[in-house]
Amino acid sequence: MRVAMYYNNRDVRIEDLPEPKISDTELLVKVKASGICGSDVLEWYRVKKAPLVLGHEIAGEIAKIGKDVKGFQIGDRVFVSHHVPCNTCYYCLNGNHTVCETLHTTNYYPGGFAEYIRVPSINVERGVFLLPDEISFEEGTFVEPLACVLRGQRMINIKPGQSILILGGGISGLLHLLAARAQGAGRIIVTDISEYRLKMAKSLGADSVINAKEDVTVMLRKANHNRLSDQVIICTGATSAFMQSLQCVERAGTILCFAATLPGVTLPVPVNDFWRNSVKIMHSYGAAPVDITQAIELLRAKVVEVKKLITHSLELAEAAKGFQLAAEAKECVKVILKP
């Protein structure tokens, strides 16, 4: 079978691997669509494990079923979660599934940028979700990133009417915009250095957009009735955005670090001011099964409409082009590969 083998952001090759063989407790899934995630082009993070087949935002059809697998049929349309929790450890039992050791050590083989993936038994049990007919395969690639967004927003407990500042208008920032709007948020403001992304954010319902090169704090007050933001969601790894967040959060507000900085970066948090003003800083990584279930339902019901986010839909043979588009992040939001 063909795979897109990642060596670095500028070197992604179409290679051949044997079609995976499955055991009696596993599934073979034919990948119909696979999204390129921002983390796939996070080169400092990925290149140390190269060469490898990336891809964790997939939708496909079940091609083969192990004889001991129950509940599925050949031809079923599915979303498959690459990481699954154990559901029994201390962290899972306390609702912190994404720090579960099992979640961090599970995956399907060889990766989503392949014609077929082998789904291990633990993923079959806890990470295979039927895809409703209302969700196309391309829309199905948004299940995982939307689930991550929903978990983050669940953690900071967005309330109707609250103002939201989203720092970074890439795919995660735009999904946060759509999800926050669906939850009845008040004014939503998006920042970015790309005029293309700012225009996209405005078209998707942002009340205001701000070029991140401007004085964001001043512009935020102008856009938000002279207030800072109740919720600040960081969706870019730029250190400048993390610094901006510290100046943009309202009293009793929350900063959500949805993105991560480069390794070793530290922030000068004004602890005394945040203590006095009850400001919280939180982090969110990944998604739990409950978030995946919710994401599927929101996509099925078109409560969150993602078609407009798909800017490029390419064949697997064009994987190198797809990675280049995603890494350069110019006039591009979401790139989907179709094996």
Query: Whole-prediction pTM value?
Result: 0.96
Confidence of residue 100 (pLDDT cuts 50, 70, 90): very high
Q: What is the average per-residue pLDDT within 298-302?
A: 98
Confidence of residue 11 (pLDDT cuts 50, 70, 90): very high
Are 134 and 156 in a shared domain? no
Q: Does any domain span residue 51?
A: yes
Q: What is the average per-residue pLDDT within 82-88?
A: 97
Are 190 and 177 in a shared domain? yes
Q: For 162-202, give the DSSP string.
A: --EEEE--SHHHHHHHHHHHHTT-S-EEEEES-HHHHHHHH
Are 137 and 152 in a shared domain? no
Q: What is the average per-residue pLDDT within 148-176?
A: 97
Are 117 and 241 in a shared domain? no
Are 201 and 106 in a shared domain? no
The pLDDT of residue 83: 96
53: domain CATH number is 3.90.180.10
Are 135 and 235 in a shared domain? no
Are 247 and 198 in a shared domain? yes
Are 267 and 177 in a shared domain? yes
For residue 146 the two structure tokens come to 């939307």
Contact 121, 13 (CB under 8 A): no
Are 125 and 162 in a shared domain? no
What is the chain's mean pLDDT, rounded?
A: 97
The pLDDT of residue 167: 98
Q: Does any domain span residue 151?
A: yes
Are 251 and 194 in a shared domain? yes
Q: What is the average per-residue pLDDT within 134-155?
A: 98
The pLDDT of residue 249: 98
242: domain CATH number is 3.40.50.720
Q: Does any domain span residue 288?
A: no
**Which residue range(s) make up the domain with 232?**
147-283
* H-state helical runs in 204-304: 216-223, 239-248, 271-277, 289-300
Q: Does any domain span residue 289?
A: no
Contact 280, 255 (CB under 8 A): yes
Confidence of residue 197 (pLDDT cuts 50, 70, 90): very high
The pLDDT of residue 98: 96
Confidence of residue 274 (pLDDT cuts 50, 70, 90): very high
With pLDDT > 70 as the criterion, what percentage of the chain qualifies?
A: 100
Are 251 and 325 in a shared domain? no
Are 133 and 154 in a shared domain? no
Q: What is the average per-residue pLDDT within 129-147?
A: 98
- The distance from CA 234 to its chain's CA centroid, rounded to whole angstroms, is 13
The pLDDT of residue 96: 96
Q: What is the average per-residue pLDDT within 149-156?
A: 97
The pLDDT of residue 81: 98
Confidence of residue 283 (pLDDT cuts 50, 70, 90): very high
The pLDDT of residue 230: 98
Contact 109, 22 (CB under 8 A): no
Q: What is the average per-residue pLDDT within 315-320?
A: 98
